[in-house]
Amino acid sequence: MDTVQDLGRYGWQHLGVNPCGAMDKLSAQFANILVGNGLDEAVIELHFPASAFFFEQPSLIAVSGADFSATVNGEEIPCLRPVLVSKYSILQFHRVEKGARAYLAVHGGLDLPSWLNSYSTHLKAGIGGYMGRTLQKDDEIRFRKPADLCSLLGKKELEVLPWKTDSNWGDSNNAKEILALPGNEWKRLTDKSKEIFFDRAFLVTKQSDRMGFRLKSEPLSTITQEEVVSSAVSFGTVQLLPDGQLIVLMADHQTTGGYPRVAHVISAHHSRMAQMKPGDLFIFRFTDQQTAEELFIKQQQHLLQLQNACKFKLDELLSK
């Protein structure tokens, strides 16, 4: 399932229009940064088995997020590096090495119409992105500002440019630990359920998609059955379903919900969460508001620094 996404469609949730956008926004931004695009440029989000792409003109591309063992014309290319490819090149993905979602960015961006100020595909409404749907064989996407890259390539089919971004930023040694803030209904959990929440690993089940990740663990229960009237939810909100299992809301989540909100995955860990796939196990840890905010701000600062550095290098190369 491959779709066009950006950083999301904000400003319309009061009409029930959910934001959509890339599942792993950090990786989507890395891919754009590497090819000199703005952070919110449209990218292609790939799930394995991913589409193959045929380039009708020389292009500067980058692949980030999951490692699907990409090749150009049969030659392996690294993730998180800008790659110049010649006219008539073929980009293919062969197997899942790591992660769940890869992002493909092209220098200049994709030439697509925006809907409500966003390029993200809204699959439910069938609009946005590429014709409101997943990509299919023989679809053709134009690039917005094709730069003249021929001279840089010379006679070569492929050139990996010398700058990169670090994928594991902020990941340290605890890739399987997800930091969260307690939700408003956390206090409704029984003491036993609170223990389970912290002590057990949670399994990402097959019922996980762009709307949300259904988790499996020992069932949790609440001390009250009092209803929660529907109200807004957020990317990363962890809700308790009637069967005692948890769901983490992801990019295509509904705008509102009425299930108890047990926790909220912090923004700085959305990327880590989005790269989990069915069968993966992880643990929850609580943090506080201040730490969550600091981690997010640091992540954004890091992105800006990378953007400036990459832009400088690309400009230098193009002006030669």
Partner 1 sequence: MPEIPKHTIFPISDSALTIDFGNVISESINDFVLSLFQAIKTNPLAGMIEAVPSYSSLTLYYDLFFLRNQIPPGQTGYDWIAAQLLQRLDAAEQKNNISHGLITIPVCYEKEFAPDTEYLAREKNISVEELIHIHTSKQYRVYMLGFLPGFSYMGEVDERIAISRKSQPVTVAAGSIGIAGKQTGIYPLASPGGWQIIGRTPLKLFDAEKEDPVLLKAGDRVQFTSISKDEFKNY
Dihedral of the CA atoms 172, 177, 179, 185 (nearest 10)? 180
Q: Which of 236, 277, 306, 310 binds partner 1 (CB under 8 A)?
A: 236
Site for partner 1 contains 119 (CB under 8 A): no
Find the binder of partner 1 among 266, 274, 310, 314 (CB under 8 A): 266
CB of 100 to partner 1, least distance (A): 21
Q: Which of the stretches 72-80, 121-129, 140-148, 309-317 binds partner 1 when contact is defined by CB under 8 A?
A: 121-129
25, 107, 264, 277: which one contacts partner 1 (CB under 8 A)? 264
Cβ atoms of residues 141 and 105 within 8 Å = no
259 touches 285 (CB < 8 A): no
**Residue from 234, 280, 302, 311 binding partner 1 (CB under 8 A):** 234
Our finding on whether 223 is near partner 1 (CB under 8 A) is no
Residue 11 as a binder of partner 1 (CB under 8 A): the answer is yes
255 touching partner 1, by CB under 8 A: yes
The nearest distance, CB 110 to partner 1, in angstroms, is: 19
Site membership for partner 1, residue 124 (CB under 8 A): yes
| CA angle (110, 113, 115) in 5-degree steps | 125
| C-alpha span between 99 and 108 (Å, rounded) | 26
Helices (H), the chain: 25-34, 150-153, 191-199, 270-274, 289-318
Q: Does 305 bind partner 1 (CB under 8 A)?
A: no
Quick one: which segment of 12-20, 60-68, 140-148, 190-198 binds partner 1 (CB under 8 A)? 12-20
- Which listed residue (136, 174, 230, 305) binds partner 1 by CB under 8 A? 230
Nearer Cβ to partner 1, position 84 or 233? 233
Peptide bond connecting 49 to the previous residue in cis, omega within 30 degrees of 0: yes
Query: Dihedral, CA atoms, 126, 127, 128, 134, nearest 10 degrees?
Result: 30
Select the span of 156-164, 189-197, 201-209, 250-258 touching partner 1 (CB under 8 A): 250-258
Contact call for residue 289 and partner 1 (CB under 8 A) = yes
Q: Nearest to residue 44, comparing CAs of 58, 26, 64, 59?
A: 64
Length of the chain, in residues = 320
The burial class, CB within 10 Å (0-12 / 13-18 / 19+), for 166 is exposed
228 belongs to the binding site for partner 1 (CB under 8 A)? yes
Give the SS3 label for residue 119: coil
Q: What is the footprint of partner 1 within residues 72-111 (CB under 8 A)? A: none
Rounded to the nearest whole angstrom, what is the least distance from the CB of residue 85 to partner 1 in the complex?
33
Residue with Cβ nearer partner 1 (59 or 299) = 299
Q: Does 14 bind partner 1 (CB under 8 A)?
A: yes
115 binds partner 1 (CB under 8 A): yes
The Cβ of residue 16 has, within 10 Å, a number of other Cβ atoms equal to: 10
Nearer residue to partner 1 within complex by CB, 51 or 271: 271
- Please tell me the distance from the alpha carbon of residue 4 to that of residue 21, in angstroms, as a whole number: 8
Q: From start to end of the chain, where are the E strands?
A: 3-5, 43-46, 53-54, 59-67, 70-72, 75-76, 83-85, 90-93, 98-106, 158-160, 177-182, 202-208, 212-216, 231-232, 237-240, 246-249, 256-257, 261-265, 281-286
Residues of the shown chain interacting with partner 1 in the complex, contacts defined by CB under 8 A: 10-18, 115-116, 122, 124-127, 181, 183-184, 228-237, 254-256, 261, 264, 266-267, 289-290, 292-293, 296-297, 300-301
